Structure 1
Amino acid sequence: MKKLNRSVNLTSAIAISIGGMLGSGIFVLPGIAAAKTGSSIWLAYLLAAVCILPAALSKSELATAMPSSGGTYVYIERTFGPIFGTIAGIGLWLSLLLKSSFALVGFGAYLTVLVSIDEGFTKYAALFFLLVILGLNIVGIKKVGKVQIVIVTISLISLAAILIFGLPNINKDYLQPVFTDGNIGLISTVAFVYISYAGVTKIAAIAGEIKNPSVNLPRAMMLSLVIMSAIYVSVAFVLVGNIPMTDLGSDIKPIYTISNILGGTYIGYAAAIVGVITLVSMANSGVLAASRFPFAMAIDKLLPEFMSRIHSKYLTPVVTIVMTCLVMALVILFLDVEKIAKLASAFMVMMFISVNACVIILRETATQWYNPPYKSPFYPFIQLFGIVSGIILLILLGLVPLLAILIITIIGFLIYLKYGKKALRTGVLRKYGHRPALYLLYKKKNRRKARLTGDIVINSKFLDGEILDDAGVVVPLLGNEKSPEMLVEIGAALNTKEKLQVANIIEVPNQTFLEAVVDENPKVTALARRFSRLAKSNRINVDFESVVTHNISDTIYELSDQTHCDWLVFGWNGRARTGILINNPIGWLMTHINSNFALFKDNGVRYIGKVLIALTPGKNDKKFIEVADRISQFYGASFSFLRVVSEEISETDYNDLEQTSNALISGSIAESDLRIIKSNDSIETISNLSASYDLLILGSPKKDSWINVLFGSGKDKFTEKSACSVLRLTIKND
């Protein structure tokens, strides 16, 4: 398959991103926004940039993980599933066509400066140029990208000239009042101008064509956001400082007005020409982008098939282009400029909330195929800020935009029921979502066991392609293990049966055919050779298979069920908790599988001679000691049984604990001893002791703070500070 040529450098990427933002946000919106908050409009633009920053960072991460997948619609569809993909596709389509409609309304206002037509006919002028744009999009002339760069350059030069001549002429009297409606007016204006920055993430749609996307894509988004926020803030300040608020508040061609004031009639005409060209170009590119969303949805079987038709000669999606322009015409005719801007902002805010949620879900579920080269900083706080601030902005936009979002959600759900219900894809959240999230977002269904011959493919090129049905231990390899051999050794140490099953599991998105990943995998060949050598040298019975799957949890669940194993042994990164709302595959399995669990944190220790088992008193203490004894026998090691007690413990309780603990290790075969240490800092105590041991064995981790409980993002402090390798054991009650 041919790949896209990565020919877009950083400079070009910044130009494209700026081009996506430059238009109605500065040529039309400032006057209407100033009427809502006063001269503090510049602050509203600045706060809007801060609010959109999380979405830019999140989309940078998503785009580097899926650099050729096609944008926000696909990110949401892969994360939340076809239902939300359908709703998101419609929301994105509407947000772009509304923004383009807004640009054409502004274009009509600038046109009245150049052509003697009544303001009442500006809508019809906008409709005429919409018809021209329809024809251009069908024949594909918009593909001449150099024209867009020229237009952006002219616009930036014009705005720079306004700043140079406008800043010295600021009238301080015009800057009062700063706030016409207090803090609420300011924040609602932030929501209103939010749409001005929507184009910052458009560059992600061509991530597959950017050179070194893991570096250049985030840089392009951040630099273009900084540049455009500086332009918006400074130009807005110049506007309110040079135009009386009584005039600016109802002006939808403010760039013409300020140019006329500063430079006279002919400079005003020049600014009007720039406004006309910029806004038409923006509307044209908006139609180009918007029409692709229903087209992509039709290809994915989420909309009627006829919408996926392309023109036989021009190879453009003619049906969705016509449909997009038709809806834009209705918007221009029947909605006023303020309602168009509010609706466009509302839909874009909703999409950016979803983008931030996508990053949290994809990271927390630890889905195997999600491996972005660039990761958003300050995770998950930056994403949580984006979600919370987005919800606040949606509320402040008013009732009508909220009702519109609700209606679109209902329509999207009905469309999914009609056309998309047969879609075979499922979102990551549906696969690995924890119960409360699934109750909120999906109708709860009982998980059906997957047949190994159906939902996974076993690589049988050089393996026997059969999963054992009598293995005592199953070791799933997920690709992030430091030493697969060490993990298999731990599995062998835990095993009380003859055989051990090792399964290298490769998870791919639902959109990828499993068979396409099976062949020509040298890593699998290398693992098979290494485990064969390990089995011979350690005299253990290891069966190794490689499987490709769409769902790790279901596959491991079936492996556990088919093998009737006693233990599942996983490599572990030290995460202590699973979240309430979302879960990673290991977290889901820990709550659904009846076998015991062993999570091994490999800290590089290769020879185990001394084992430390640290337990708080519990009903499974005897079983834990038996496991520690078995592991010590396997390695020919000794083990120490550690109890950390409060410094204020009474002598009677201390003696009782010592007696019961000695009784627990009295039947051990391996050499063992008891250590009871008085300390009020168990983490520090165990950390210091771990330096004298090779393996630390702990019980199941416990949940604590509400953030960790909700999102499972905490680290196990015992494991994090341990100087040796750690084995976390979860023993199911009989």
Structure 2
Amino acid sequence: MTANDEELAKDLGLLSALTIGVGTMIGAGIFVLPGQAAAAAGPAVALSFVVGGVISLFTALSASELGTAMPKAGGSYYYVNHALGPIFGSIAGWGNWMGLAFASAFYTLGFGEYLATFLPLPTLTLGPLALSEFQLGALLAGSAFVAINYVGAKETGKIQIVIVTLLVGILTVFSALGIMQADLSTLRPFFPEEMGGAAAVLPATGLVFVSFLGFAKITTVAEELKNPGRNLPLAVVGSVAIVTAMYAIIMVVLMGVVNWRQLGPDVTTTPVLDVADIAFGTVGLAGIGVGLLTFAGLLATASSANASILASSRINFAMGRDRLISAKLNAIHPSFATPYRSIAVTGGLILLFIAIGDVKVLAKAGSVLHLIVYGLLNLALIVMREADVDEYQPEFEVPLYPVVPVLGALTSFGLIAFMDPIEIGLSLVFVAGGLVWYLIYAKDRAEKKGILSQYVLEQSDQLPQAAVSAADTVQPDGGDYRVMVPLANPEHEKDLITLASAIARQQGGTVDAVHIVTAPDQTSLGHAAAHADELEEDYHAVLDAAERDAETFGVEVETHTILSHESFGEIFDAARTHEADMVVMGWGKQRFGSPGRVESAVDDLAADLPCDFLVLKDRGFDPDRILVPTAGGPDSDLSAEVAKLLQAEYDSDITLLHVADSVEEGTTFLEAWADDHGLGDATIHVEEGDVEDAIERAATDETMVIIGATERGLLHRLVRGSLVLDVVEDVNCSVLLAERARKRGVVDRLLGD
């Protein structure tokens, strides 16, 4: 299986993020739902929008804290998966994905409705399926939106800002003119008896809640947001507050100008256009007003639909990264650099829902799935706080904890009870599907265990046995061994991939080929992502070759392209992000600021290696005869492990070398060391004298040397040099430098062992 995805650049500012939320939410409640909403609660539906906004605000605050602590692609899904574990992550991922598909179909039907007001379209009958004119328009528009996302044409932040500015401007003028014509007496009684009185408010909230799904889409692009600690909460909370106020005001205007009883539940009517005709007619601009609102309706519904399709690809990106879906579905198109398979599958579902769906059912089904995810998201915040995880350091914290997330969870789950059984049942099918998918497919592949289950298992002595057993049962069985290969030079690609594939196959693992495209510091990563081919011509070629070479070993291979201002330093970040067990990389000239180790000088002082590292000085990959010099220590332990793996793969002859003060003492040490490391069949070679000279002599007849990194400290190496560097340059065969990931203190880093 293969997956080729591009890491996400931080190129979105506050205004762009804010307009993602506002631009997505501004459409449904105003341009599609007024008739349905008025028929559900009468004038009190304005209060339903306020209630929906308050419920959203609780979750928006929780999402903001989680997002500033974990600014990752996938948003709500990622937080749930990380905190509650992959079984809930599977539910959240599939629920969010299908909820976005329902919402996209709903928005696209709204687009078709406005399209039909000025573009005559026929009705169409396909066997038992009868399509209305606006369904046909929605199918055409939906196909166009899917195609746009498939080939990668998308709105930039500036275009989104223009769209939202136009919408807000048009609606502000509309509201100002409308309020002057409104007769607020038509809003009495506010809770009409025929609608069920005040009891109708919450069921109507369930209907209109689809209007508030946009704020969560901001968290799906948190990984691309500049300064997320400040901008994410401002964008998320701000978009909810702005849109809630606009919805409430505009619904009052609509029902003040046109009596709510005349708005009607018929989805083919467009109350906004009727009110625009009256409001703009007072200034002699009725035709222009209707045209402006029609244009705004098309713009809003198109923007909402397109944003939902785009957000769904972010969900798949994150699920694929966590191995909850097939890597094939998460594949990136080699030419368009889009998750084309995911978009195609999502697009097919959207078109199906348009053809057979009902606007009210779609709205509520999308809401139910998102409410489930929002409830889990609030629980995820509580878990992260209570588990007191070291790496959880949010830059923004919700006020009044734990009241806010508790209310967020209760109101999200509670609102589901006011939906109709058909929407609840349809949504639960997808929830059950997510559970089954996890147990049958993802449980054997997923790596992330979740903070909740880890916390429960760590507290097993203090918690009920039933809770401990449940946490243990749902733990993922996957987490195969991952060998990451950073590729830069096509000349050495084959040997690096061959080495990595041999290790991965012996470990039953996966090769993760990573190609880092370096952009100049003066070039933004957003611009670099759009012009990657200009920075490095045909940059996919090196990954395509790596994929072909790895597959000859029968191992799974994934490919990734990372755009970065750094080259070497980015490798460490990628290893952490991809949860690599080992990194196999090439030895470049003057690559290391700290000779004889993998880290740069800065890394040597600041951080530990994220995983085991192998660095190959490539003079031709030939593991037939391997020399392993050792003086003990963790790096030599890794050298022994790698030698054993290569021996199992290639039937290599292994020679162990130790330099000691006496041959007898050295032989005793080396025989014991060989037995401890499962290399009792290796040739034992002991010498006295200079270590470097001994290694050079012993390597004369060998095809590869595997040597542990020096354990001398940074200051010692900078002043006295490094044995490893001398050996690498002086022997004639390939040299493999091995360094074990381990915790080291500052004193150890400076002065060494």
What is the TM-score when the length of structure 1 is the normalising length?
Answer: 0.60
* Distance 1:229-1:404 versus aligned 2 partners, 3 A rule: same
- Superposition map of 1:4-403 within 5 A: 6-117=10-121, 120-179=132-191, 180-250=195-265, 252=267, 253-263=270-280, 264-403=286-425
Indicate the residue corresponding to 1:431 in structure 2: 454
Q: Which 10-residue stretch deviates more, 395-404 or 334-343?
A: 395-404
* Distance 1:273-1:52 versus aligned 2 partners, 3 A rule: same
How far did 1:294 drift? 3.1
Q: Contact 2:72/2:78 (CA < 8 Å) preserved in 1? A: no
Secondary structure at the counterpart of residue 113 of structure 1? coil
Q: Which 10-residue stretch deviates more, 291-300 or 434-443?
A: 434-443
Q: Contact 1:38/1:176 (CA < 8 Å) preserved in 2? A: no
How far did 1:147 drift? 2.8
Distance 1:335 1:222 in 2: 32
- Superposition map of 1:318-717 within 5 A: 318-422=340-444, 423-433=446-456, 439=466, 443=470, 445=472, 512-513=579-580, 520=603, 522=605
Distance 1:398 1:159 in 2: 32
How far did 1:287 drift? 1.1
CA RMSD of aligned residues (A): 3.1
* Distance 1:410-1:382 versus aligned 2 partners, 3 A rule: same
Q: Contact 2:384/2:392 (CA < 8 Å) preserved in 1? A: yes
Distance 2:291 2:451 in 1: 54
Letter in 1 for 2:140: F
Distance 2:415 2:469 in 1: 26
Letter in 1 for 2:203: S
How far did 1:156 drift? 0.9
* Distance 1:128-1:369 versus aligned 2 partners, 3 A rule: same
Letter in 1 for 2:425: L
Distance 1:413 1:510 in 2: 26
Indicate the residue corresponding to 2:537 in structure 1: none
Distance 1:210 1:413 in 2: 32
How far did 1:411 drift? 0.8
How far did 1:380 drift? 0.4
Q: Contact 2:230/2:396 (CA < 8 Å) preserved in 1? A: yes
Q: Contact 1:30/1:254 (CA < 8 Å) preserved in 2? A: yes
Distance 2:423 2:467 in 1: 23
How far did 1:437 drift? 8.7
Distance 1:101 1:402 in 2: 18
Show CA shifts across 1:92-114 (max 9, x none): 01111111111111111111211
Distance 1:417 1:249 in 2: 46
* Distance 1:445-1:9 versus aligned 2 partners, 3 A rule: closer
Show CA shifts across 1:28-49 (max 9, x none): 1122111111111111111111
* Distance 1:8-1:290 versus aligned 2 partners, 3 A rule: closer
How far did 1:447 drift? 12
Unaligned runs of 5+ in 1: 449-453, 455-507, 526-544, 546-734
How far did 1:284 drift? 1.5
Show CA shifts across 1:177-205 (max 9, x none): 32222232101112222221211132223
How far did 1:77 drift? 0.8
* Distance 1:438-1:95 versus aligned 2 partners, 3 A rule: farther
Q: Contact 1:292/1:320 (CA < 8 Å) preserved in 2? A: no
Distance 1:443 1:223 in 2: 39
Q: Which 10-residue stretch deviates more, 411-420 or 6-15?
A: 6-15
* Distance 1:70-1:339 versus aligned 2 partners, 3 A rule: closer
Distance 1:78 1:169 in 2: 52
Show CA shifts across 1:434-485 (max 9, x none): 677984797354999xxxxx9xxxxxxxxxxxxxxxxxxxxxxxxxxxxxxx
Show CA shifts across 1:374-399 (max 9, x none): 11111000111111111220111132
Letter in 2 for 1:105: L
Distance 2:361 2:410 in 1: 24
Taking only the aligned residue pairs, the percentage that are identical comes to 32
* Distance 1:208-1:296 versus aligned 2 partners, 3 A rule: closer
Show CA shifts across 1:579-637 (max 9, x none): xxxxxxxxxxxxxxxxxxxxxxxxxxxxxxxxxxxxxxxxxxxxxxxxxxxxxxxxxxx
Q: Contact 2:276/2:290 (CA < 8 Å) preserved in 1? A: yes
What is the TM-score when the length of structure 2 is the normalising length?
Answer: 0.58
* Distance 1:6-1:334 versus aligned 2 partners, 3 A rule: closer
Q: Contact 1:38/1:177 (CA < 8 Å) preserved in 2? A: no
How far did 1:296 drift? 3.5
How far did 1:143 drift? 4.3
How far did 1:247 drift? 2.6
Distance 1:334 1:271 in 2: 28
Secondary structure at the counterpart of residue 302 of structure 1? coil
Secondary structure at the counterpart of residue 313 of structure 1? coil
How far did 1:210 drift? 3.2
Q: Contact 2:116/2:134 (CA < 8 Å) preserved in 1? A: yes
How far did 1:511 drift? 6.0
How far did 1:431 drift? 0.6
Distance 1:438 1:385 in 2: 29
Q: Contact 1:295/1:307 (CA < 8 Å) preserved in 2? A: no
Q: Contact 2:55/2:412 (CA < 8 Å) preserved in 1? A: yes
Indicate the residue corresponding to 2:661 in structure 1: none
* Distance 1:208-1:101 versus aligned 2 partners, 3 A rule: same
Letter in 1 for 2:222: A
* Distance 1:28-1:446 versus aligned 2 partners, 3 A rule: closer
Q: Contact 2:220/2:315 (CA < 8 Å) preserved in 1? A: no
Letter in 2 for 1:62: L
Q: Contact 1:98/1:344 (CA < 8 Å) preserved in 2? A: yes
